[in-house]
């Protein structure tokens, strides 16, 4: 395998910091886009407050995972190889890299390196849109196991390429696949038409063996069967659930068996109408206190469901709703508030998660599309646009208060959310990985 050497290009500006907090998977340590970090930077640029920056061999919408001294990031390269890197937190130098698969597919601004890696500090797991998944020893990069879910369960039929991230929760590794059936022959990576199941899969993290597979039925049509969301843990009333959104419904599942506990419709505002068959879901569900929050596709409602019911609960479970949800960005939950970013309208709305009341709403101040999801920590909201501009908002204010707008530049392909760890920001633009902070 041809190495993409980044260690000699890393720019080390400051000494290493201690490692108080970790960002182990896509939505962070609390699974909701928030972290308990302090002393995070507000002002930065391509050179200001930069601890190091390294080039990446290709674009990726995957958010970095950070644990201790290790920063894990995935990427394709020009040879269509799908790679995972471990970088040193101290200076950005490469500690190891591994090729997991061949055959990266590009479509639009996405590719097969969209799922974010996940780690527990000892092992790191990487999943790609080709269906290839692997576990690696975190310090050495040794491949502990690898398998092709596409070969085992059929190639995934997702129009804009599979993008759900794996979830590590209570000793199991979960993979969600909500896809179209029958599979159109022109879908990337599928190769032929054929029936497909949508399912939730639980793997043994140590061996990669399947623990169970739960088939999730839907009456959705065509592209509306598809979802780019990631399973979300939800703990309320002394019970744990996994929240899944897509296929025109939101559902809660038993983490031990995958059994569906409840199901609520309503996210597809065009269901049964013209265009209702094209309402795929991008944002993941959010666990917010006692409620499961689901963002409907393409300006459908934002819905809050009670999660203590069973079976079909559409009418009785709905707690509140807003008329329009973000199409792509998963809301962040922090201190009882939902921060809902509409990346097309370039706005941020703060919502009381208990009541659905809008506390404030305002413009992000730049004419740039946002496809990432907001990150909240240290009383700040970090939002990064497709051209690498990072808007920092005050999460404690009673209005939409912009603290700074920071330009990192790069190609118009930045879709990864900001990761935070130990007073530092880890920002994956279209062509670089930045460590911002002291």
- CATH number of 155's domain: 2.130.10.10
For residue 56, how far is the Cα from the chain centroid?
19
Mean pLDDT of 377-396: 98
Q: How many whole angstroms separate alpha carbon 106 and alpha carbon 316? A: 42
Q: What is the pLDDT of residue 13?
A: 33
Q: What is the pLDDT of residue 189?
A: 87
Residue with tokens 């994956």: 428
Q: What is the pLDDT of residue 438?
A: 87
Phi-psi region of 409 (alpha: psi -120 to 50; beta: other; left: phi over 0): left
Q: How many whole angstroms separate alpha carbon 295 and alpha carbon 329? A: 9
Mean pLDDT of 267-283: 96
Domain that includes residue 364, residue range: 7-436
Q: How many domains does the chain have?
A: 1
Q: Which of 6-20, 128-142, 144-158, 306-320 has the lowest mean pLDDT?
A: 6-20
Residue 415 domain flag: yes
Residue 104 domain flag: yes
pLDDT digits (tens, 9 = 90+) for 229-267: 999 999 998 999 999 999 999 999 999 999 999 999 999
Q: How many whole angstroms separate alpha carbon 113 and alpha carbon 62? A: 7
pLDDT of 9 over the 60 cut:
no
Residue with tokens 């039925």: 217
| Three-state DSSP state, 76 | strand
DSSP for 147-209, written as a single string: EEHHHHH-----TT---PPPEEETTEEEEEE---SSPPTTSTTT-S------EEEEE-TTT--
pLDDT of 4 over the 80 cut:
no
CB atoms within 10 A of CB 315: 9
Q: What is the pLDDT of residue 75?
A: 98
Q: Phi and psi dihedrals of 151, rounded to 5? A: -70, -35
Residue with tokens 């909701």: 32
Judged on CB neighbours under 10 Å (0-12, 13-18, 19+), 425 is buried
Residue 2 domain flag: no
DSSP for 308-371, written as a single string: S--EE-HHHHEEEEES---SSPPPEEETTEEEEEETTTTEEEEEETTT--EEEEEE-SS-----
Q: How many whole angstroms separate alpha carbon 131 and alpha carbon 188? A: 12
pLDDT of 5 over the 90 cut:
no
| Three-state DSSP state, 251 | strand
pLDDT digits (tens, 9 = 90+) for 113-124: 999 999 999 999
pLDDT digits (tens, 9 = 90+) for 199-219: 999 999 999 999 999 999 999
155, 191 Cβ separation under 8 angstroms: yes
Triad 54, 58, 59: Cα angle to 5°: 95
pLDDT of 1 over the 80 cut:
no
Q: How many whole angstroms separate alpha carbon 436 and alpha carbon 40? A: 9
For the chain, percent of residues with pLDDT exceeding 90: 91
Residue 170 domain flag: yes
Q: What is the pLDDT of residue 20?
A: 56
Residue 8 makes CB contacts below 8 A (sequence gap 6+) with none
Mean pLDDT of 347-361: 98
DSSP-derived letter for residue 9 is G
Structure token pair of residue 365 = 């101040």
Residue 316 domain flag: yes
Q: What is the pLDDT of residue 149?
A: 97
Residue 240 domain flag: yes
pLDDT digits (tens, 9 = 90+) for 393-427: 999 999 999 999 999 988 888 999 999 999 999 99
**Biggest CA pair distance of the chain:** 59
Residue 1 domain flag: no
Residue 152 makes CB contacts below 8 A (sequence gap 6+) with 210
Q: How many whole angstroms separate alpha carbon 190 and alpha carbon 313? A: 35
Residue 268 domain flag: yes
Which stretches of 183-282 are assigned E, i.e. beta strand?
A: 199-203, 210-215, 232-236, 239-246, 249-253, 260-265
Mean pLDDT of the chain: 94
């Amino acid at each position: 395998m041809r190495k993409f050497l980044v260690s000699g290009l890393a720019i080390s500006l400051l000494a290493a910091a201690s490692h108080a907090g970790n960002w182990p998977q896509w939505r962070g340590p609390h699974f909701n886009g928030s972290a308990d970090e302090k002393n995070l930077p507000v002002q930065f640029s391509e050179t200001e407050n930069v601890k190091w920056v390294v080039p990446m061999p290709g674009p990726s919408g995957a958010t970095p995972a950070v644990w201790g001294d290790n920063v894990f990031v995935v990427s394709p390269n020009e040879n269509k190889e799908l790679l995972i890197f471990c970088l040193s937190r101290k200076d950005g130098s490469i500690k190891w890299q591994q090729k997991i698969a061949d055959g990266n597919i590009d479509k639009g601004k996405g590719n097969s390196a969209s799922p974010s890696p996940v780690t527990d500090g000892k092992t790191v797991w990487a999943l790609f849109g080709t269906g290839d998944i692997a576990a690696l020893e975190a310090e050495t990069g040794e491949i502990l196991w690898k398998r092709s879910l596409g070969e085992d369960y059929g190639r995934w039929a997702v129009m804009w390429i599979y993008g759900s991230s794996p979830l590590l929760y209570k000793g199991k590794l979960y993979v969600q696949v909500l896809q179209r059936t029958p599979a159109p022959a022109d879908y990337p990576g599928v190769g032929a038409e054929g029936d497909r199941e949508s399912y939730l899969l639980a793997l043994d993290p140590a061996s990669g063996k399947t623990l169970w597979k739960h088939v999730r039925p839907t009456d959705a049509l065509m592209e509306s069967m598809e979802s780019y969301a990631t399973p979300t843990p939800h703990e309320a009333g002394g019970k744990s659930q996994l929240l899944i959104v897509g296929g025109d419904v939101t559902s809660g599942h038993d983490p031990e068996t995958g059994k569906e506990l409840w199901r609520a419709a309503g996210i597809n505002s065009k269901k049964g109408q013209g265009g209702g068959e094209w309402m795929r879901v991008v944002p993941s569900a959010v666990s917010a206190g006692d409620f499961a929050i689901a963002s409907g596709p393409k300006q459908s409602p934002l819905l809050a469901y009670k999660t203590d019911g069973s079976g079909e609960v559409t009418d009785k479970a709905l707690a509140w709703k807003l008329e329009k949800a973000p199409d792509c960005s998963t809301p962040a939950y922090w201190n009882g508030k939902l921060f809902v970013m509409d990346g097309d309208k370039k706005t941020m709305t703060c919502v009381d998660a208990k009541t659905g009341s809008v506390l404030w709403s305002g413009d992000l101040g730049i004419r740039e599309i946002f496809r990432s999801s907001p990150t909240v920590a240290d009383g700040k909201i970090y939002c990064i646009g497709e051209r690498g501009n990072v808007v920092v908002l005050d999460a404690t204010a009673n209005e939409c208060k912009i603290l700074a707008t920071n330009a990192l530049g790069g190609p118009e392909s930045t879709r990864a959310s900001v990761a935070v760890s130990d007073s530092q920001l880890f920002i994956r633009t279209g062509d670089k990985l930045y460590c911002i902070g002291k």
